[in-house]
Amino acid sequence: MVKCIATDMDGTLLNSMQQISEENKRAILKAQSQGVEVVVATGRSYQEASYVLDEVGLKCPVICVNGAEVRAQSGEILSATPIPNKLAREVAARLAEKDVYYEVYTNKGAFTIDLKKAVSILVDIVVSANPEMDPKVVEEQAGARVSDGLIHIIEDYEHIFSNEEYQIYKFLAFSFDLDQLGKAQDSLKDLTELEVTKSGIENIEITHRNAQKGIALEAFAKAKGISLEDTVAIGDNFNDVSMFNKAGRAIAMGNASFEIKALCDEVTDTNDNSGVGKAILDLL
């Protein structure tokens, strides 16, 4: 019997317009009405995840920044697994040495030191996936990420690294030069306290090794008295693999790669065809 469903956001719960479809929303509400825990498990910060959920009036527990932070449905922080500040400085130095752009995710939101690059990268990613979209419109939407407080501009990341008020959850590094990105990833291999994964071809996500979606899902289920056999994980990329490995059933999106589909028990429809909603209704 399914008692807990964990769903990724980007490429999974969200369509290519970065929205939750009405079909997905209805399915989640139906599952919740039947007592099923529906948990959002995302690489996004809590602020970014809740922003999208609030747009359609959904309330869910959230496994944020790949498991570095877990929030209750009320928004209360249940757990946090940050990267130690000294180690964060080392990560930043190695990414900078490889000339790879990165953003830093913290308990106070996401930060960038290069707004122009942050916006241009988002535009390139969205337009490449949706060539029919007007780049100017996408740029306005990307700029709204700043105006709505979803990413903050900072002059120097050292302000974060040296301030005890900030917990450093994740580095999100981007490069359209895949060779350069690979070199940056290779440079981190000896830092065994870290987990390095991907949520897209052009990025790497760096968290503490205990900050993984699967570890967070296991802890969440245990706290709720739910057996992992009664959990389901839905996702589309490599940062979802840890929860695929933990859940009783793993479901890949129709838009996932062959490698991801091969790791799962079944495949649902694509994110643009409300694959999450269809999977949930099938489970119910």
Catalytic annotation, residues: 8
15 Cβ partners below 8 Å, 6+ apart? 21, 271, 272, 274
> For 180-187, which contacts have Cβ atoms below 8 Å and span 24 or more sequence positions?
180/98, 180/99, 180/100, 181/100, 183/98, 184/94, 184/95, 184/98, 184/100, 187/94, 187/97, 187/98
Measured between alpha carbons, how far is residue 114 from residues 117, 119, 161, 242 in Å?
Answer: 5, 9, 17, 31
The answer to whether the beta carbons of residues 145 and 151 sit under 8 Å apart is: yes
- Both tokens of 132, joined, read 């029919």
Which residues lie closer than 8 Å to 180 by C-beta, 6 or more apart? 98, 99, 100
Instruction: Tell me how far the alpha carbon of residue 172 is from its chain's centroid.
Output: 10
* Residue 216 contacts residue 258 (beta carbons within 8 Å): no
